[in-house]
Amino acid sequence: MTIKAIFNDVFPPIIWRSLISLKRILVPSHDTINLEGDFATWEEASSRCTGYDDSSILAKVLEATLKVKRGEAVYERDSVLFDEIQYSWPVLAGLMWTAARNNGRLNVLDFGGSLGSSYFQNRKFLSSIPEVRWNVIEQSHYVEAGKAHIQDEQLQFYKTIGDCLEASRPNVVFLSSLLQYLPEPYSLLKLLLKLCPDTVILDRTCYVNQTDHEVIKIQHTPSSIYAASYPIRYFVEDELHHLFTQSGYVLLESFDSLDKLDAAATWKGHIFVRDCHE
């Protein structure tokens, strides 16, 4: 057995997360995502960040996505290409579950979905669904690139929720690695829940571990991915979920996400469904 395998058998996950976090603090790497903070306000953290809208980031994402679309690579996430698809099986289950409840119709509103990363990640399984439409809401320059190079009959790109609703009516809202990077996440959630989709799927959302209040940090993405920094919010899980119960949704399932960036937070996913008795 390797040393890593032995440690996996001996130490619980919380010890591993603590060791990884300590390593990042003591030995910062140019090839890993690093987190800085805490900060008192979102505005304070934001003033120290470069942001995410640099054109060079889009260029890397577009290049990687086109390779996946052409079959030259199997999977892309955050502009990084992988040799095999890293599935989030609970997310896929939530999508298939919704299609089954809607007579084989799946219409996804993917807010902040880049150039369709999650669509391409799951398209092998989506191809078995009779009717699929995947709508990505993104920044203007991503939408323009998506329309010019990526879009097809199933995958569409829009600048606003209103533009999307004029073309189709989603039965799933999908938010992956998004809410924690928004200055006003609760306002967006309230707006999306008013659309009354059958299912809301959250994935790669981060929550504080040992405190009862939100934490704001700065996330530094290495140049090996794309050089950028932006604020990140660690939610209080119960507070975020309260919005769903207020809007007539119930929690169908929770699951661990792929991300493990900081021992101070847990990255999780959730599948909420509309309570038909409301």
Task: Give the pLDDT means over successive 10-residue stretches in the chain (278 positions).
Answer: 49 49 42 86 95 80 96 91 93 97 97 97 96 97 97 97 96 97 97 97 95 94 81 96 96 92 92 80
What CATH class is the domain 31-274?
A: alpha beta
Strand partners, 157: 136
Helices (DSSP H) in 51-88: which residue ranges? 55-69
Give the separation between CA 122 and CA 154, rounded to whole angstroms: 13
Q: How far is CA 273 from the centre of its chain?
A: 18
What's the pLDDT score for residue 19? 44
DSSP 235: B
What's the pLDDT score for residue 30? 45
Q: Residue 193 in contact with residue 137, Cβ under 8 Å?
A: no
What's the pLDDT score for residue 32? 78
What's the pLDDT score for residue 277? 52
What's the pLDDT score for residue 9? 55
What's the pLDDT score for residue 16? 43
- Between the alpha carbon of residue 28 and those of residues 24, 167, 174, the distances in Å are 5, 47, 33
What's the pLDDT score for residue 26? 41
For 222, the token pair is 């290495």
What's the pLDDT score for residue 37? 79
